[in-house]
Amino acid sequence: MASCVDCSDVLVHDEPLGPLTTLGIGGPARLFYAPSTVDELAAVLAELDARGERVRFLGNGSNLLVDDEGVDGAVVSFRRLRFVRPDRDRAGVFDVGAGALVPGLITRTARSGFAGMERLVGIPGSIGGSLFQNAGGKDGSMADIVEGATLVTRSGRTVFRRQDELGLGYRKSALGGAAVASVRLRLTPDDPRAVVERARALMVYRKRTQPLQDRSPGCIFVNPHGERSASWLLERAGVKGLRHGRASFSEKHSNFIINEGGATAHDVRVLIREARDRVFDRFHQHLRLEITEWTAGRPIG
Ligand SMILES: Cc1cc2nc3c(=O)[nH]c(=O)nc-3n(C[C@H](O)[C@H](O)[C@H](O)COP(=O)(O)OP(=O)(O)OC[C@H]3O[C@@H](n4cnc5c(N)ncnc54)[C@H](O)[C@@H]3O)c2cc1C
């Protein structure tokens, strides 16, 4: 197992998290690590485990609600783990560092003549966070293009897991608390122009239906079982445009909460509770959060 004494060269104290999230809300992390190799990541996790620190993983912060007071314990960021390594023997197979961003990967793989990533158009996450969430939409999800992943366990052990061992389901995975260090993608050779064109068409649709220019964490709630989507229920429950402080439900897509500038985590929570209550009162359905909450207090859940 790798060791890094106290890992101080990859450690920052009291790093503000708000600017590292797409919602732009949140106080500092007491300890913030940004390892730049998988070995460093393993060493950091081993050390934090030995010290009994609580650890949270940060990708591109595009599905997160962080408390205004920030979080105690350690945050491990993947922003320096952005390698992309094509397999020399198998066309379309790439090992990608967990911090590599989905939009850049879509452009790069499409232009090189590989199809598959374009189903994630409009998703601003890292590839590691996207595997954790099994991100996707109506055109498919990460599960369709992943051959496996290298994980680092909380005690710092590095293991490779095949796709069918990752527990991927609708917006979820089962990684046993491990970090995703890298993802092995398996894409399909295709005409670059056709892939780029498909990606462009999907982006046009996204821009028309989602508030992509605004600060948000994407969809707040997952779609419940059954025919009605979360946004259908929210719209009928009258939450579109609902506002608290400087946060509001988007006029364009009723499952998005927007930071209009200066919103707090408290503002967002008030809106989440109000929306849930309204949907429950009208449809007797409980909406489950899609976003991850980082809170020192009691989570909304
Ligand atoms: C405008 C907009 C549109 C969006 N559209 C979609 C969409 O269509 N479909 C969709 O599924 N999502 C969508 N999202 C949500 C979000 O982009 C995805 O969930 C994305 O995959 C999250 O990746 P991230 O790197 O930003 O993760 P983060 O927000 O940083 O983290 C999310 C969760 O993943 C965990 N995590 C992050 N990195 C790792 C890692 N390396 N190892 C282990 N755990 C990790 C975190 O601890 C956290 O629990 C959208 C978001 C926005 C802002």
Q: Where are the domains of the chain?
A: 8-77, 84-209, 230-294
Identify the helix (H) or strand (E) that includes residue 56: strand 55-58
Tokens of 183: 């993802």
- What is the distance in A from the centroid of ligand 1 to the CA of 140? 15
Tell me how far apart the alpha carbons of residues 18 and 23 are, in angstroms, rounded to a whole number: 7
Probe residue for ligand 1, chosen from 123, 151, 212, 291 as the CB with the greatest number of ligand atoms within 8 Å: 123
In angstroms, what is the span from residue 297 Cα to ligand 1's centroid?
22
Write out the two tokens for 30: 């007491």
Instruction: Say if CB 298 and CB 265 are below 8 A apart.
Output: no
H/E/C letters for each residue in 205-224?
Answer: HHHHHCCCCCECCCECECCC
Residue 124 in contact with ligand 1 by CB distance below 6 A: yes
Tokens of residue 57, six digits: 């993983």
pLDDT at residue 6 in the model? 60
Which residue lies with its CA nearest to atom 50 of ligand 1? 218
Mutate to test the pocket of ligand 1, among 60, 62, 295 (most ligand atoms within 8 A of CB): 62
Residue nearest to atom 37 of ligand 1 (CA): 129
Q: What is the pLDDT along the chain (301 residues), one digit of tens a residue?
A: 455 656 777 888 999 999 999 999 999 999 999 999 999 999 999 999 999 999 999 999 999 999 999 999 999 999 999 999 999 999 999 999 999 999 999 999 999 999 999 999 999 999 999 999 999 988 899 999 999 999 999 999 999 999 999 999 999 999 999 999 999 999 999 999 999 999 999 999 999 999 999 999 999 999 998 889 999 999 999 999 999 999 999 999 999 999 999 999 999 999 999 999 999 999 999 999 999 999 876 667 6
230-294: which CATH topology?
A: 3.90.78
Contact at 8 Å (CB) between 237 and 282? yes
Q: Which residues are catalytic?
A: 171, 219, 290
CA distance readout (Å), 221 to 140, 256, 289, 295: 18, 9, 4, 18
Give the pair of three-digit tokens for residue 289: 């959060």
Q: Ligand 1: does its nearest atom lie under 6 Å from the Cβ of 137? A: yes
Domain topology for 84-209: 3.30.465
- Which positions ≥6 away from 286 have C-beta within 8 Å? 224, 276, 280
Nearby residues of 140 by Cβ (< 8 Å), 6 or more positions away: 119
**Spelled out in words, what is the top-level CATH class assigned to the domain 8-77?**
alpha beta
Among 57, 71, 209, residue to substitute to test ligand 1 (most atoms within 8 Å of Cβ): 57
CA distance 247 to 18: 15
Determine whether the shortest distance from the Cβ of 60 to ligand 1 is under 6 A: yes
- Report CA(114)–ligand 1 centroid distance (Å): 23
Rounded Cα distance, 283 and 288, in Å: 14
Q: What is the pLDDT of residue 3?
A: 57
The sign one gets for the Cα dihedral 182, 186, 191, 194 is negative
Helix extents (H) in the chain:
38-51, 102-111, 127-133, 192-209, 230-236, 265-283
Cβ(156) – ligand 1 distance below 6 Å? no
Residue nearest to atom 52 of ligand 1 (CA): 218
